[in-house]
């Protein structure tokens, strides 16, 4: 009687095949066999989606400041302090509080005459800047005018925001999840499969992304205040969701 002798590897593959598993030799030359049970593999669809919410801002941030120069450093500082204090008092009378006025920058430095070739100090400059939090955006132009009238000789960096950004971001996050589900259902229907559950959900933008749009208006308003116009804030959230299918 003729006998057939099979190599150990071949025999292992046959036995695994009979047991419902698949043997996959590794490519490292060791002769080891890794076994994957196909019945345990989860079929899934992974989608990413974005949610966007547009809202009107309810707070404005304006940077204003005072710059003074004098041949005497102390005089430049004293003049700067007097002008800043006058501006603060006027802004408080207009309704702003100490918490609404935050110092963002203070510099005091010499100015040189380089053309003489001796680097001679000709004067000193003091620069003091504060960020104003204006909780009524309809008054932005008015507040800027009050600051300028009472000593501010620089104004820049106007931006708008929300006092409660988290609430709007949560709305954008919900829209992103809804969009992901709709996208996954479309893919499942096109592929002839059915969604049976959610395996994983990941927030891609922690805290969200906020895009601010604003511009200076072309003409003065009826009150004669400095014209400021703002557009909507666009708040974005993004998620990636993995759905189980069958």
Cα 90–chain centre separation: 34
Q: Say what the pLDDT of residue 37 is.
A: 41
CB distance 176 to 239 below 8 Å: yes
Residues 87 and 123 in one domain: yes
Q: Say what the pLDDT of residue 127 is.
A: 97
Residues 237 and 182 in one domain: yes
Q: Say what the pLDDT of residue 42 is.
A: 77
Residues 78 and 116 in one domain: yes
Using the predicted structure, report yes or no on whether residue 13 has a pLDDT greater than 60.
no
Per the DSSP assignment, residues forming a β-bridge with 124 are 70, 110
Residues 128 and 76 in one domain: yes
Residues 66 and 139 in one domain: yes
What would the pLDDT profile of 68-108 be if each residue is shown by its tens digit? 999 999 999 999 999 999 999 999 999 999 999 999 999 99
1 inside domain: no
Using the predicted structure, report yes or no on whether residue 23 has a pLDDT greater than 60.
no
Q: Say what the pLDDT of residue 206 is.
A: 63
Residues 195 and 218 in one domain: yes
Residues 180 and 106 in one domain: no
Which of 122, 123, 130 lies closest to 83, judged by CA?
130
Q: Say what the pLDDT of residue 170 is.
A: 94
Q: How confident is the model at residue 156 (pLDDT cuts 50, 70, 90)?
A: confident
Residues 65 and 152 in one domain: yes
Using the predicted structure, report yes or no on whether residue 213 has a pLDDT greater than 90.
no
Distance of CA 189 to CAs 44, 70, 184, 194, 228, Å?
13, 76, 9, 7, 50
Residues 73 and 155 in one domain: yes
Using the predicted structure, report yes or no on whether residue 30 has a pLDDT greater than 50.
no
2 inside domain: no
Residues 72 and 96 in one domain: yes
Q: How confident is the model at residue 52 (pLDDT cuts 50, 70, 90)?
A: very high
Using the predicted structure, report yes or no on whether residue 39 has a pLDDT greater than 80.
no
Regarding predicted confidence, which is higher, 101 or 33?
101
The number of domains in the chain is 3
Which of 130, 52, 55, 47 lies closest to 96, judged by CA?
130
The most confident of 108-122, 147-161, 225-239, by mean pLDDT: 147-161
- b (16+ CB within 10 A) / e for 15-38: eeeeeeeebeeeeeeeeeeeeeee
Look up the domain containing 98 and give its range. Answer: 59-161
- b (16+ CB within 10 A) / e for 64-78: bbbbbebeebeebbe
Q: Say what the pLDDT of residue 24 is.
A: 42
């Amino acid at each position: 009687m003729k006998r057939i002798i099979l190599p150990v590897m071949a025999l292992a593959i046959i036995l695994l095949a009979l047991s419902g598993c698949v043997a996959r030799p590794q490519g490292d030359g060791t002769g080891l066999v890794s076994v994957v049970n196909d019945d345990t593999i989860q079929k899934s669809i992974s989608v990413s989606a974005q949610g966007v919410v547009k809202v009107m801002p309810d707070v404005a941030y304006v940077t204003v400041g005072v710059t003074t120069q004098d041949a005497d450093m102390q005089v430049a500082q004293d003049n700067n302090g007097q002008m800043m204090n006058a501006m603060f008092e006027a802004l408080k009378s207009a309704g702003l509080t100490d918490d609404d006025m935050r110092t963002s920058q203070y510099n005091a430095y010499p100015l040189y005459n380089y053309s003489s070739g001796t680097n001679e100090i000709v004067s000193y400059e003091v620069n003091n800047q504060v960020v104003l939090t204006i909780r009524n955006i309809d008054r932005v132009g008015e507040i800027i005018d009050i600051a300028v009238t009472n000593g501010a000789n620089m104004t820049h960096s106007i931006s708008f925001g929300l006092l409660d950004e988290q609430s709007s971001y949560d709305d954008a996050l919900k829209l992103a999840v809804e969009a992901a589900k709709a996208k996954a259902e479309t893919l499942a229907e096109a592929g002839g499969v059915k969604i049976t559950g959610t395996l994983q959900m990941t927030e891609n933008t922690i805290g969200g992304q906020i895009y601010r749009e604003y511009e200076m208006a072309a003409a003065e308003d009826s009150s004669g205040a400095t014209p400021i116009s703002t557009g909507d804030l666009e708040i974005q959230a993004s998620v990636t969701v993995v759905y189980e299918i069958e």
